[in-house]
Amino acid sequence: MPSPVRLLRSTSRALLVGALVVLFLAPLVVMLTGSLRPPGLPPPRGVELLPEGAGLAAYAATFELVPFGRALLNSVLLAAIMVPLSVVTASWAGLALAQTSGWRWRTLAGAVLLLVMVPATAVWLTRFAVFKVLGLTGTAVPLIAPALMGGSPLFVLLYAVAFRRLPQELFEAARLEGAGPLRLWRSIALPLVRPTTAAVALLAFGLSWSNFIDPLLYLSGEDALTAPLALHSLELLGSTQWPVLLAGAVVVTLPAVLAFLGAQRMFLGEERGSGWLGR
């Protein structure tokens, strides 16, 4: 029988976890229930768990009022390009960084950490000026270009830390067998850090899927709308289209939830640390 102190701790932990779950799920529940209200109604005065006249009419209106289907397709295509590119380039840079040691590792890792702290707003103007001079505004190139450089310094740092946890004997043995850098990355390093790859891929997907400013700056026309811009168009319809806006928010949120659920098994995997050879 557990002691009273241990029982109190477990109960407090369960209550804390339950409170956090409710805190994070409450906005999603309000969004879902609000999207079931008939279109043309303003926001409710209180919380409605089951609105009167609940139905899916707001979801149909979402695709009728704005080109939401086209916007979703554009966001899917961008994510399909950016996520693999970010994983590949970030893992390349992370592996190269992890192979350094001593003052080189400290200097380069510190520089990457400083880049993580640079706010995105600080480079909006300079990036726009560069792409405008190159004549690339109005295309998807400025949106894909960050993925060619790792997507984010954070992704490079995550991979570097994960690769440094691997036993260096593996890389030394592979080099003695004649393995080059590409084979080291593809056959040895990357398969052993699958949870990190899942995390980077999910973060890259979220970064691409929720990107609002870059499409607003570089793209124009209804055919170039992305999901966040289409959602913003629904917001401009006014408060009487509140259910339609929430229906659009549900549609935009669903792919991110599915992506997280799909990557959950990889998150639960165990990375092979320095002691996995039994040494």
CA 155-261-166 angle, to 5 degrees, is 40
Q: How far apart are CA 183 and CA 27, in angstroms?
A: 46
Q: For residue 152, give the DSSP letter.
A: -
pLDDT, averaged across the chain: 83
List phi, psi (to 5°) of 177.
-85, 0
Q: How far apart are CA 222 and CA 206, in angstroms?
A: 23
Predicted pLDDT of residue 170: 83
Question: Nearest Cα to 231, choosing from 214, 213, 216, 246?
Answer: 246
Q: State the pLDDT confidence band at 185, using cuts at 50, 70 and 90.
A: confident
Predicted pLDDT of residue 116: 86
Q: How far apart are CA 75 and CA 96, in angstroms?
A: 31
Domain boundaries, the chain: 31-66+225-269, 76-221
Please tell me the least confidently modeled range out of 3-12, 179-188, 223-232, 254-263: 3-12
Task: Tell me the mean pLDDT in the region 23-45.
Answer: 78
Q: How far apart are CA 194 and CA 84, in angstroms?
A: 14
Q: What is the pLDDT of residues 99-158, one digit of tens each?
A: 888 888 889 888 888 888 888 888 888 889 999 999 888 888 999 998 988 888 899 999
Please tell me the least confidently modeled range out of 6-10, 20-24, 177-181, 273-277: 273-277
For residues 263, 174, 172 and 153, what is the CA-based torsion angle, rounded to 10 degrees?
Answer: -30
Q: How far apart are CA 40 and CA 98, in angstroms?
A: 56
Q: What is the pLDDT of residues 204-232, one digit of tens each?
A: 999 999 999 899 889 888 788 899 999 88
Predicted pLDDT of residue 277: 42
Contact 30, 49 (CB under 8 A): no
Contact 246, 196 (CB under 8 A): no
Predicted pLDDT of residue 81: 94
- CATH architecture for the domain at 76-221: Orthogonal Bundle (1.10)
Q: How far apart are CA 267 and CA 197, in angstroms?
A: 9
What is the gyration radius of the CA atoms in the chain, in angstroms? 23
Task: Name the helix (H) or strand (E) containing 44.
Answer: none
pTM: 0.83
